[in-house]
Structure 1
Amino acid sequence: MAGRRRASECAVVALVLLLASLVGCGGPSAGADGRAGLQRVLDRRSTALLHRDRAAFARTGALGWFENVRAVPLASWSYRVTALHGSGGRATADAELRYRIEGYDNAPVTVGRTLTLSRDPDGHWYVETDRPAGKSPQQLWDQGAVTVVRGRHSIVLGTGQSGEALHTYAGLADHAVPEVSRAWGRDWAGHVVVLVPGSVRGMAGLLGSPASQYRGIAAVTTGEVGGPPRAPADRIVVNPDAYALLGSVGRQVVLTHEATHVATRSHTDAATPLWLSEGYADWIGYLGTGRTPAEAAPELARAVGDGDVPSRLPTDKDFGFSGEPTKLARSYEGGWLACRLIADRWGGERLRAFYRAVGDHTSRAGSVEDAMKKVLGTTPEDFTRQWQDYLRVQLG
């Protein structure tokens, strides 16, 4: 019995030594030293990208999207390795990419990336792929070569688009920015970044959501609402499929609407109801177009004409992209007419003051009620009744 135990112990020792030998043959593990080594490689890769040095970039790994991003005017680009998985010659890394577009981003845009890696016998890392992390959105250069067009108040970045098409977007944005500044004021960046992917699927990839949510949406604005002045720049992301169906006035309204979201971001937070933020953006968008309420709010006009006057202002849930299109249209139209009512009855400056008062409130509870009392001298209940009467007059 004792002899058999000693033989067993020897076998176990031999097995452990064999396993250790096999692990050792696999190459260095992805430990602290491996992570530090990878960080150095990514630092060199970032420097090469900023200097447009193709050869230096290639020495750190596959070229991948290097050519796609060449035209983008980058002020900064850096990675921070957050995790390294695997051992031996193969590994996967999680990293945080931070970059700024020169002249437009006050602070870095931050996105998650997943890198697949190989390692040579000398322990040097080589980047094989660099793609969006699991729940992170794509960047435009993930979708193809980026073409850049600069306007007076805008920069337009596109994939799968002609230069002529991108110049059209720049023209619309350049018209929108001064219009927004006249109505809102000049306490914002005064320029916009417009992203134009090749299709609605490309738009969805940039937003990290299913394409089905955006098929009827011409554009959206991404950004950090209520953020400080040095928050990352907003991006106006266009759906070229839906945009192509709009007329010239509709296209301008959409770009001006989205530029308004960029301008009002720092005064927009969880306390701001969507009927106000979306309605105000539409109010500025329609200024000077000559569109009547019935023309600009056809779905709501149809409902009011049938005697179906809304019993309340639209709620935030009414603005969900995945809901019924007609209901969504009525929500936007109702918010626009609420803001139009304020401008007609109290004036555009008072409308702007009301918007700021709601967004600058310390908490959501009571923010609209307090702002209506202080700025408009009314209550939510009385305002709703006035809005309903306004709908009947304007659309009935």
Structure 2
Amino acid sequence: MLWLTVLLLVPVWGCTAPAKAPDSAAGAIGRTLDRRAAAVLDRDERAYLAVLDPAATALRATGRREFRNLAEVPLDSWTYRLTDVERSGDRATVHAELRYGLTGYDRAPVSAPRTLELTERAGRWYVTADRPGDGGAQQLWEQGAVRAVRGARSLVLGAGQDDALLRAIAATADRAVPAVDDAWPRPWAGRAVLLVPGSLEAMARLLGASAAGYRGIAAVTTAITAGDGAAGTAPADRVVVNPEAYGALSGFGREIVLAHEITHVATRTATSAATPTWLSEGFADRVAYRGTDRTAGEIAPELQRAVRAGDAPAALPADEDFAFGAGADRLARAYESGWLACELIAERWGERRLTDFYRAVGAHAGREGAVEKALHDVLATTPEDFTARWRAYARQRLG
């Protein structure tokens, strides 16, 4: 999230040509996309369709649907930045960044790569195709009409879902945000954007991934790239809900899932490649369960079984232990082990030291030495001592 960027207060539109355009076509193509961007913000369907190739019947039908699908999305900016133009006669393939911002939620526009194809007719360029670019994913409005539900501290955007579910998710998110605020006393937006697609498969398309990797996962938080592409400065993450797995949860389970994911939103700018997964996931779980009446055994049943069987882990989990393909038991123990490590820090050193430790690890230049240095600087201990304390704490809380 881009916490230091000023919130956009007025709509903006436009298209920035690349520094080195292949030829004069780049300027004309840029003007075409300028008109498209302005049409989106003006909610002008006729102008939006006017930049599409008159001969592209299927594209125009799709474009009309997608334009109408955007009707409830609260946009305050929509622009295209050309990154490459490949022209061959009267045809061109354009690689661009679509940058858009949600009113009141994005402190700077988020960025999504797009690949567009255009054709020239009588001196004007028209769009003939528009699809996600390399490394990009489908957008929610490409999946159907988007319904927007505004909570007190959340915005829920759904496609293919009924209003009752969207309102319930907004209410749950609204309860989670203050809890996250209390546990993470650092600047963050204090609000969340949640996307609710119509199915697991639709969720996977939003993430640009295989559905198999998210089966049974109730929600994930995506790190949205800032418009300037600066690392660690995403203006707003999105919590993407898997309606199938989320729908199977109890009310309490839904509260835990959204509090966990919103914690990831709050801590994003303090999380980096130096942060081990046990810390990021363990901290998020600790915030989610903090203040509930669940016992350690109820929160960490798989780890408790291992401890009582004399098979307690010898070390904190590695990143690969959190892989979805690692197996359900191994994955559960990894999450539970991370939670218990954060519990230990909060109980032994205090809540403030836990957040200081989290920030110190994430601020390190790289993974190597990050935890060791933060253990020394913040907790005045060593990896060996901390691991021994953690194992003893597991026997104490779970034995």
Fold agreement, TM-score > 0.5: yes
1:113-124 equivalent positions in 2, closer than 5 A: 113-120=114-121, 122-124=122-124
Q: Does 2:310 align with 1:307? A: yes
Give the corresponding residue for 1:257.
260
Q: Does 2:58 align with 1:55? A: no
The alpha-carbon distance between structure 1 residues 306 and 126, as it changes in their structure 2 partners (threshold 3 A), is same
The alpha-carbon distance between structure 1 residues 181 and 229, as it changes in their structure 2 partners (threshold 3 A), is farther
Give the corresponding residue for 1:197.
197
1:57-72 equivalent positions in 2, closer than 5 A: 57-61=48-52, 62=60, 63-64=63-64, 65-72=66-73
> How far does the alpha carbon of each residue in 1:295-330 deviate from its partner, in whole angstroms, 9 at most, with x for none?
111221222222110010011121122322221111
Q: Contact 2:112 / 2:225 at 8 angstroms: preserved in 1?
A: no
Give the corresponding residue for 1:140.
140
The alpha-carbon distance between structure 1 residues 149 and 74, as it changes in their structure 2 partners (threshold 3 A), is same
Q: Contact 2:110 / 2:225 at 8 angstroms: preserved in 1?
A: no
> How far does the alpha carbon of each residue in 1:20-55 deviate from its partner, in whole angstroms, 9 at most, with x for none?
xxxxxxxxxx96233321111110010010010111
Displacement of 1:93 in angstroms is 2.5
Q: Distance in 2 between matches of 1:108 and 1:326?
A: 40
- Give the unaligned 5+ runs of structure 2: 1-20, 53-59
Displacement of 1:338 in angstroms is 0.8
Q: Contact 1:225 / 1:269 at 8 angstroms: preserved in 2?
A: no
Q: Does 2:259 align with 1:243? A: no
Residue type of the partner of 2:332? A
Q: Distance in 2 between matches of 1:382 and 1:229?
A: 31
Q: Does 2:174 align with 1:174? A: yes
SS of the residue aligned with 2:297?
A: helix
Q: Contact 1:249 / 1:289 at 8 angstroms: preserved in 2?
A: no
Q: Contact 2:180 / 2:259 at 8 angstroms: preserved in 1?
A: yes
Q: Contact 2:225 / 2:234 at 8 angstroms: preserved in 1?
A: no
The alpha-carbon distance between structure 1 residues 224 and 136, as it changes in their structure 2 partners (threshold 3 A), is closer
Q: Contact 2:172 / 2:255 at 8 angstroms: preserved in 1?
A: yes
Give the corresponding residue for 1:95.
96
The alpha-carbon distance between structure 1 residues 186 and 376, as it changes in their structure 2 partners (threshold 3 A), is closer
Give the corresponding residue for 1:127.
127
Q: Which moved more, 1:212-221 or 1:314-323?
A: 314-323
What is the aligned length?
Answer: 366
> How far does the alpha carbon of each residue in 1:111-144 deviate from its partner, in whole angstroms, 9 at most, with x for none?
1112233332x12222233221243111111111
Displacement of 1:88 in angstroms is 4.5
Q: Which has the larger radius of gyration?
A: 1
Give the corresponding residue for 1:21.
none
Residue type of the partner of 2:244? D
Q: Distance in 1 between matches of 2:363 and 2:232?
A: 14
The alpha-carbon distance between structure 1 residues 252 and 98, as it changes in their structure 2 partners (threshold 3 A), is same
Residue type of the partner of 2:278? W
Q: Contact 2:225 / 2:233 at 8 angstroms: preserved in 1?
A: no
1:377-388 equivalent positions in 2, closer than 5 A: 377-388=380-391
Q: Contact 1:218 / 1:238 at 8 angstroms: preserved in 2?
A: yes
Residue type of the partner of 2:210? P
- Give the unaligned 5+ runs of structure 1: 1-29
Displacement of 1:235 in angstroms is 0.8
Give the corresponding residue for 1:278.
281
Q: Contact 1:93 / 1:115 at 8 angstroms: preserved in 2?
A: yes
Q: Contact 1:107 / 1:230 at 8 angstroms: preserved in 2?
A: no
Displacement of 1:192 in angstroms is 0.8
Residue type of the partner of 1:234? D
Q: Contact 1:223 / 1:232 at 8 angstroms: preserved in 2?
A: no
The alpha-carbon distance between structure 1 residues 229 and 366, as it changes in their structure 2 partners (threshold 3 A), is closer
The alpha-carbon distance between structure 1 residues 132 and 224, as it changes in their structure 2 partners (threshold 3 A), is closer
Give the corresponding residue for 1:219.
219
Q: Contact 1:97 / 1:112 at 8 angstroms: preserved in 2?
A: yes
Residue type of the partner of 1:374? D
1:2-81 equivalent positions in 2, closer than 5 A: 32-61=23-52, 62=60, 63-64=63-64, 65-81=66-82
Q: Distance in 2 between matches of 1:170 and 1:236?
A: 12
Give the corresponding residue for 1:22.
none
TM-score by length of 2: 0.87
SS of the residue aligned with 2:95?
A: strand
Larger RCO of the pair (alpha carbons < 8 Å, separation 6+): 2
Q: Distance in 1 between matches of 2:123 and 2:366?
A: 54
Q: Does 2:343 align with 1:352? A: no
Q: Distance in 2 between matches of 1:230 and 1:361?
A: 16
Q: Contact 1:83 / 1:93 at 8 angstroms: preserved in 2?
A: yes
Residue type of the partner of 1:324? G
Q: Contact 2:200 / 2:215 at 8 angstroms: preserved in 1?
A: yes
> How far does the alpha carbon of each residue in 1:254-307 deviate from its partner, in whole angstroms, 9 at most, with x for none?
111111111111111122111111101100000122111111112212222221
Residue type of the partner of 1:116? E
TM-score by length of 1: 0.87
Q: Which moved more, 1:57-66 or 1:304-313?
A: 57-66
Q: Distance in 2 between matches of 1:102 and 1:233?
A: 12
Residue type of the partner of 1:392? R
SS of the residue aligned with 1:50?
A: helix
> How far does the alpha carbon of each residue in 1:62-105 deviate from its partner, in whole angstroms, 9 at most, with x for none?
33411111211111111123334453454433222111111111
Q: Over aligned residue pairs, what C-alpha RMSD do you find?
A: 2.1
SS of the residue aligned with 2:187?
A: coil
> How far does the alpha carbon of each residue in 1:126-180 deviate from its partner, in whole angstroms, 9 at most, with x for none?
2233221243111111111111111111111111111111111111111111101
Q: Distance in 2 between matches of 1:116 and 1:77?
A: 19
Q: Which moved more, 1:306-315 or 1:287-296?
A: 287-296
